[in-house]
Amino acid sequence: MNKFKRNLVVFICMVMISFGANTIGQATSNVISETGGIKISKVVATVFGDITTTKGFTWYTNKTSTSSDLEVVEKLSFEPNFEEAIKFKGKNYVPTNSQEEMVHKAIATDLDGNTEYFYRVGDSNLNSWSNVGTFKTGSKEGEVTFINITDTQAKTEEEAKLSSETIEKSLKTVNNVEFISLNGDWVDSGKNEKQWDWLFGYSQNSLLNTTIAPVAGNHDSSKNSFIDHFNLDVGEGSDTSKGAYYSYDYSNAHFIVLNNNEDSEEFRNFSVNQIEWLKNDVKEAREDGSEWIIVQMHKGPYTIGNHATDNDITGPNGVRTKVAPLMEELGVDLVLQGHDHTYSRTKALKNGVPVDVEKIKETVNGVEVDYTVNPQGTIYMTPNTAGPKVYNKNKDIGSSYYDLFEVVNKDPASQEGDDSKKSDKPERGIIQNFISIKISGDKLTSITYEINQKKNNGEPYIIDTFGILKES
């Protein structure tokens, strides 16, 4: 081989190694920026306090970075000018489950409502910054659209990629999304930081350009694994080592995020302090003029999968026994649930039974929606899964229980085959859901999408619609 050919081969090999290393690094190490000697990853913006003026931010770096800097500038053109940015200084610490990293948290304050912003996070001392993200502050009036998903819960890198694709598809399908709420079980093992790396790594472009309202699931409950990834204005007394409870407002709606990972003799999955906080929070929201009350929790009272008959749900101090009556007593309109990995939606329930309702039909963007008028009860909904794990309908419950539901999942995943390792469960990774929910004045409109990886080229299609109309 002559000298020219030998040098050419060496050059090509170096290029291939370089591109291969970068590709693998982006997938497995979750790095979105690597300049100035630091690696910036797992960037996420969260609801925090007053959504019209404030936003919370979290990101990870290696230990080289000790300065936590956030820069925010109004989005006036296609490109940000960070020379005019508002600068915020945050705090950092070593996260419980990743001792070789630093977690950084900062809060943007005094922002303008209903306004789009560019932002970046990093270390100003080292002039090292993340990729540019965007977010929008909320409004006290007008309509709001959000996406609800649950249980991304991936065990492997490939499954995390699948979960990230659900998030991406939801944002491409639903217009004018203000935020994404996820009803818990972000990962399969909260203390396994690699699983957070996978999910946030593949989802990073989506997460950089939206706001998250996270719920802690039972798989996120160990060793500060939840709170180390999200900057939240938590409720007083919240045990943040196991998750968090908090609330926030968008337009005329009040959202309450509960944490099932607390426990007490009186309430399974809830502390007495959390229940008292919930009651006071709803009271304050009513006094402030909130017209809608929406609750997010991981382990909900009314589901139809394996967990519907668990003792912490059905026992004498279980969630269905003790917390569901409280939802109805407090006048909660909608409860968004997770944990049970199969789609379902109840009728409006009061004292555990369906209430008589009037319905009217309307067409919304070409889709027919049945609106329940002034329901004097609470509706409970579970959006299956955004990830790989799906359950079948629970066969140990009598038909009278299923009479409480407007929609009962027909086990679409099981029709595609059984899990090779667990024959009583459907094949993993086939069916995912996400829900678009729009609140506009006295009207709530919900559209549920399904993704079947073996049909429709994996593109979302509508499987359920419903609405609530509050007539004065």
First vs last Cα of the chain: how many Å apart?
87
- Residue 423: predicted pLDDT: 58
Q: CA 159 to CA 247: how far, in whole Å? A: 30
Paired with 134 in beta bridges are 118
What is the pLDDT, as a whole number, of residue 421? Answer: 62
The neighbouring-strand residues paired with 88 are: 70
Span(s) in the chain for CATH 3.60.21.10: 144-469
pLDDT of 410 reads 73
Q: Is residue 1 predicted with pLDDT exceeding 80?
A: no
Written as six digits, the tokens of 183 are 């009803």
31-136 placed in CATH 2.60.40.380: yes
Detail the DSSP E strand segments found in 395-460.
405-408, 431-440, 443-452
Q: Which residues contact 16 (CB under 8 A, 6 or more apart)?
A: none
pLDDT (tens digit, 9 = 90+) per residue, 258-309?
A: 999 999 999 999 999 999 999 999 999 999 999 999 999 999 999 999 999 9
**With pLDDT > 70 as the criterion, what percentage of the chain qualifies?**
90
- The pLDDT of 123-141, averaged and rounded, is 96
Does the structure show a pLDDT above 90 at 2?
Answer: no
Residue 22: count of CB within 10 angstroms of its CB? 12
pLDDT at 16 over 60: no
> Residue 22 pLDDT more than 50?
no
CATH 2.60.40.380 maps onto the chain at 31-136
Q: Indicate the helix (H) or strand (E) that contains 89.
A: strand 86-89
Query: What is the pLDDT confidence band of residue 413, given thresholds at 50, 70 and 90?
Result: low
CB 102 within 8 A of CB 92: yes
Q: What's the CATH class of domain 144-469?
A: alpha beta
For residue 426, what pLDDT is reported? 84
Q: In the prediction, which pLDDT does 425 show?
A: 75
> Region 229-238: what's the mean pLDDT?
98
Nearest residue to 314 (alpha-carbon basis) of 406, 381, 396, 194: 396
C-alpha span between 245 and 106 (Å, rounded) = 19
Q: How many CB atoms lie within 10 A of CB 472?
A: 4
**Residue 420 pLDDT:** 52
pLDDT above 80: residue 32: no
- 33-47, 56-70, 415-429: range with lowest mean pLDDT: 415-429
DSSP string, 370-413: EEEES-SSBEEEE---SSS---PPPSSS-HHHHTTEEEE---TT
Q: Residue 36: pLDDT above 90? A: no
pLDDT band at 29 (very low <50, low <70, confident <90, very high): very low
Residue 319 has pLDDT above 80, yes or no: yes
DSSP-based three-state secondary structure for 263: coil
Is a pLDDT exceeding 50 seen at residue 27? no
CA distance 443 to 470: 6
Confidence of residue 19 (pLDDT cuts 50, 70, 90): very low
